[in-house]
Amino acid sequence: MSTLSYVDESPSSPWATYLAQVDRVVPYLGPLARWAETLKRCKRALIVDVPIELDDGSVAHFEGFRVQHNLSRGPGKGGVRYHPDVTLEEVMALAAWMSIKNAAVNLPYGGAKGGIRVEPKKLSTKELERLTRRYTSEIGIIIGPQQDIPAPDVNTNAQIMAWMMDTYSMNVGATATGVVTGKPIHLGGSLGRVKATGRGVFVTGREAARRINLNLQGARVAVQGFGNVGSSAAELFHGSGAKIVAAQDHTGTIANPHGLDMATLMPHVRETGGVAGFAGAESMDNEAFWDVECDILIPAALESQIDAARARRIKARLVLEGANGPTLPVGDDVLGDRGILVVPDVICNAGGVTVSYFEWVQDFSSFFWTEDEINLRLDKIMVGALRRIWDTADQHKISLRTATFAVACERILMARQERGLYP
């Protein structure tokens, strides 16, 4: 449990999940364990009021957050989420997982995350732009190309990054492309960024499947969350011969044991905003998603989805965490006991931040790479990082999650120790 006075979390909150994950890694940190408390605190948390004028002339206020969890290894890096359930505690957990993720793939970043408590689907495009610009101005005191670099997350995209980049640039009086990643291509964005997180899920999934002798050809895949991450991962698995047998999003759940036709499902989702009503599948009760017969399950929506009860029902051999924090520690234990392999979020969905790093590097050098170069480098980094984590898991006989935390926390705390405490 937290020792922070401003945190009042329930045992199933994302921050409590993160703390439990840190507690599990402490025995493997050796002498660095004396610094472990560092991981249980956020360096900096900014809460901002975001007032905007709505199209009808009224004024609305929204709560905004930017949290920098740990900056020992470099500038903060992490997405910005627009969602009605965003809280400070959630953003703290997401920022902390970014610290772990960035260190796990050895990117020269600390961890950060931001969010606004808002239902963006209820705002017009102009209102969304005003919201984004005011939020960016408010957090402008702590972000910057060398301080903290936001990126897209749930309900944010390249257009929102363009507004953030423009607002920050107007405030500092110079075009600062490196202040955000996930931008449109002609504004310094990187080829391959949009699908990078899903590609990373696929690459780690492909490697994990190979290790457990699961053939992707004909493998049955169920995906929760059919947005950027879930749909990109689904397309790549489908392209490797797997069948997408079920998909769930905020509009409903659909299933087809013979496989969903991705060529018609993707336009349906784009045009209607969700999977519901897709003609080539049966719709089913949302809770029945967890009973679907499948080989691979990809939670790619929100946190805290797999509790102990759902973990007991899952039929898959392999769980690939596209979302951040989808599995509660109790769910993790049940999956482990049942011999279901979990590739944890902190490595599984690291493809997005890896290509964000490529984008940031390309912006600084003003020299842009081809999509093939980006995808090849991404593949190599993800495979190398996963191999190191797997070796650590084998050495200590621990889960891939605890092994990822062990590799990452060692890097973070070594940096902390070498830098020393100021003053």
Catalytic residues: 113
Shortest distance in whole angstroms from residue 271 CB to ligand NAD: 14
Separation CA 217–CA 312 (nearest Å) = 26
Q: Which is nearer to ligand NAD, 229 or 381 (CB)?
A: 229
Q: Which is nearer to ligand NAD, 165 or 413 (CB)?
A: 165
Q: Which is nearer to ligand NAD, 102 or 392 (CB)?
A: 102
- Cα→Cα distances 190→114, 160, 178, 354, 413, Å: 21, 15, 11, 11, 31
Indicate whether 233 belongs to the interface with ligand NAD (CB under 6 A): no
Separation CA 40–CA 155 (nearest Å) = 28
**71, 80, 161, 229: which one contacts ligand NAD (CB under 6 A)?**
229
Interacting span for ligand NAD (CB under 6 A) from 19-27, 67-75, 151-159, 404-412: 151-159
Phi-psi region of 182 (alpha: psi -120 to 50; beta: other; left: phi over 0): left
**21, 99, 224, 304: which one contacts ligand NAD (CB under 6 A)?**
224
Q: Residues 91, 114: contact at Cβ < 8 Å?
A: yes
Shortest distance in whole angstroms from residue 379 CB to ligand NAD: 17
Amino acid symbol at 41: R
Q: Which is nearer to ligand NAD, 265 or 301 (CB)?
A: 301
Separation CA 90–CA 63 (nearest Å) = 13
Residue nearest ligand NAD, CB atom distance: 227
Partnered with residue 33 across adjacent β-strands are none
Place of tokens 């202040």: 179
Place of tokens 């994302």: 14
**89, 153, 166, 332: which one contacts ligand NAD (CB under 6 A)?**
153
Shortest distance in whole angstroms from residue 374 CB to ligand NAD: 14
List of residues 6+ apart from 89 with CB closer than 8 A: 7, 9, 13, 14, 15
Phi-psi region of 78 (alpha: psi -120 to 50; beta: other; left: phi over 0): left
Binding mask 73-112 for ligand NAD (x = CB under 6 A): ----------------------------------------
Q: Which is nearer to ligand NAD, 226 or 369 (CB)?
A: 226
**227, 329, 331, 344: which one contacts ligand NAD (CB under 6 A)?**
227
Q: What token pair was written down for 96?
A: 């902390």
Place of tokens 């605890």: 402
Indicate whether 39 belongs to the interface with ligand NAD (CB under 6 A): no
Indicate whether 152 belongs to the interface with ligand NAD (CB under 6 A): yes
**68, 349, 399, 402: which one contacts ligand NAD (CB under 6 A)?**
349
Binding mask 305-324 for ligand NAD (x = CB under 6 A): -----------------xxx
Shortest distance in whole angstroms from residue 30 CB to ligand NAD: 30
Q: Which is nearer to ligand NAD, 226 or 278 (CB)?
A: 226
Q: Which is nearer to ligand NAD, 38 or 68 (CB)?
A: 68
The DSSP secondary-structure symbol of 94 reads H
**68, 102, 136, 197: which one contacts ligand NAD (CB under 6 A)?**
197
**Total number of residues that touch ligand NAD (CB under 6 A):** 24
Indicate whether 358 belongs to the interface with ligand NAD (CB under 6 A): no
At residue 316, φ and ψ (nearest 5 deg) are: -70, 160
E-strand ranges in 272-371 read: 282-284, 296-299, 318-320, 341-343
Q: Which is nearer to ligand NAD, 250 or 313 (CB)?
A: 250
**32, 302, 334, 347: which one contacts ligand NAD (CB under 6 A)?**
302
The DSSP secondary-structure symbol of 144 reads B
Neighbours of 80 (CB within 10 A): 31
Nearest to 79 by CA among 57, 51, 101: 101
Reduced to 3 states, what is the DSSP secondary structure of residue 199? helix
**155, 204, 375, 399: which one contacts ligand NAD (CB under 6 A)?**
155
Separation CA 242–CA 296 (nearest Å) = 10
Indicate whether 244 belongs to the interface with ligand NAD (CB under 6 A): no
**356 CB-side CA count, 13 A:** 31
Q: Which residues bind to ligand NAD, rule: CB under 6 A?
A: 152-155, 197, 224-230, 248-250, 274, 300-302, 322-324, 349, 352
